[in-house]
Amino acid sequence: MPESPGGGDAGAPPQATENENPQTERTAAGPPVLSKNARKKLAKQQRFEAKKAEKKAAAKEQKRKEVERKRKEWEESLAGVSKEEKAKLIESRRNLRKERMEKRSLEKESKRDRLTVARERGQNVVVDLQFSHLMNPNEIHSLVQQIMYCYAVNGRCASPAHLWLTGCEGEMDSALKRIPGIDKWIIEKENRSYIEALSNRKEDLVYLTADSETVLEELDLKKAYVIGGLVDRNRWKGITLKKAEEQGIQTAKLPIGNFMKMSSSQVLTVNQVVEILLKYLETRDWKTSFFAVIPQRKRCQSDSEVNAEDIIIEAEEESEQNDDITSNKKICVEEVPSNS
Ligand SMILES: C[S@@+](CC[C@H](N)C(=O)[O-])C[C@H]1O[C@@H](n2cnc3c(N)ncnc32)[C@H](O)[C@@H]1O
């Protein structure tokens, strides 16, 4: 999923100046030009986008071929059989479809029930959408995709969180309104900011931000955790910390450093943070949650080596007990984390 930036209720939203933003330089003639570093970053991003588009097209083509293959297979199975057998095949296919639809509708119903319970007594997780003025259309699009993803993942959880989208105004609101079926989502969608919408619970608000000095130890059901709805590749470093401090609300960072080394910064995307919180709600274990969600490429090489080493040691211990090399090999292969 793509990455992304935030503004504030406390006065005017912070704006990046050229001095604050190392990506631009001013030429003698005047207009800002991209620095060498920023050009490199931009080229890297463009390569990434091109690759992503290529992958998407390939997946679409693969799907089309699969549908075509199945259609042919079906037609072949009907050809050359008697009229009665043909009718039987069609009937059994119809029944299978019906069963599948009933199963889907049951799943939908159970998802609605879980989300309704979460609305009453689930962990409140707020996405602060007051940063759209700091994002370009691609970044807003990317944030909308992340929000869709968060809603889908939350709906699949056995005990989902209760999601809030606050500060839904202007461009961000128009983009959200284009999501098919969003009006049926079981969430709180607010035009107001979280500080207004949850004004009676200001002391329970905790703004999650990688720049906080406080490390989050556990999730507290009484609190509402706020995530900055921003896709900025950390152009707006510190913006959410500044906002929360100006509003006088608590802040905390995820305890990533206690469990893994990251190859660059510890700033994650909105959907990764939501997924980590959901995984933590399920497991009450940060390490499991980080390893399940943070992609391999964001982790330090040494971190995965340490992890692989741990696994090999575990497997060796097991092998000593079992004296069974085959099962030892299997453990190594199966347990190396594969979520890159
Ligand atoms: C892409 S980041 C935005 C970074 C932005 N420059 C900022 O100052 O917050 C999206 C949001 O995810 C949350 N987030 C990302 N990494 C985090 C971390 N390591 N700990 C806590 N929250 C984090 C924050 O709420 C953040 O605003």
CA distance 1 to 243: 25
Q: Calculate how far, in angstroms, residue 179's C-alpha sits from the geometric centre of ligand 1.
A: 24
Any idea which residues carry the catalytic annotation? Answer: 232
Q: Is the CB of 208 under 6 A from ligand 1?
A: yes
pLDDT band at 331 (very low <50, low <70, confident <90, very high): very low
Structure tokens at 3: 């990455």
Ligand 1 close to Cβ of residue 293 (< 6 A) = no
Alpha-carbon separation of residue 216 from 21, 64, 210, 251, 277 (angstroms): 29, 46, 10, 9, 11
Residue 15 CA to ligand 1 center (angstroms) comes to: 17
User: How many angstroms does the Cα of residue 119 sit away from the middle of ligand 1?
Assistant: 24
The protein residue whose alpha carbon is closest to atom 24 in ligand 1 is 209
Stretch 217-242: mean pLDDT: 96
At 148, the amino acid letter reads M
Q: What are the start-end ranges of the E strands in the chain? A: 24-26, 32-34, 124-128, 162-166, 188-189, 205-208, 224-228, 250-252
Whole-number pLDDT of residue 315: 42
- Name which residue sits closest to atom 2 of ligand 1, judged by CA: 269
Domains and CATH numbers, the chain: 122-294 (3.40.1280.30), 300-340 (no CATH)
> Residue 196 above 90 pLDDT?
yes
308 vs 12: which has the higher pLDDT? 308
Cα separation, 119 vs 213, whole angstroms:
31
**CA 166, CA 179: separation in Å to the nearest integer?**
16
Is the CB of 270 within 6 Å of ligand 1?
yes
pLDDT for 29 equals 56
Residue 11 one-letter amino acid: G
Strand partners, 128: 166, 228
- Helix, strand, coil share (%) of the chain residues, nearest 5: 60, 10, 30
Q: What percent of the chain has pLDDT over 90?
A: 68
Q: Per residue in 95-127, pLDDT tens?
A: 999 999 999 999 999 999 999 999 999 999 999
Among 43-57, 178-192, 231-245, 307-321, the minimum mean pLDDT is found in: 307-321
Q: How confident is the model at residue 263 (pLDDT cuts 50, 70, 90)?
A: confident
Q: Has residue 12 got a pLDDT over 60?
A: no
pLDDT of 38: 85
Question: For residue 136, what pLDDT band results from cuts at 50, 70 and 90?
Answer: very high
Substitution candidate for ligand 1 out of 231, 266, 267 with most atoms within 8 A of CB: 267
Q: Region 208-217: what's the mean pLDDT?
A: 98
pLDDT band at 327 (very low <50, low <70, confident <90, very high): very low
| Helix 325-335 and helix 301-322, axial crossing angle in degrees, nearest 10 | 150
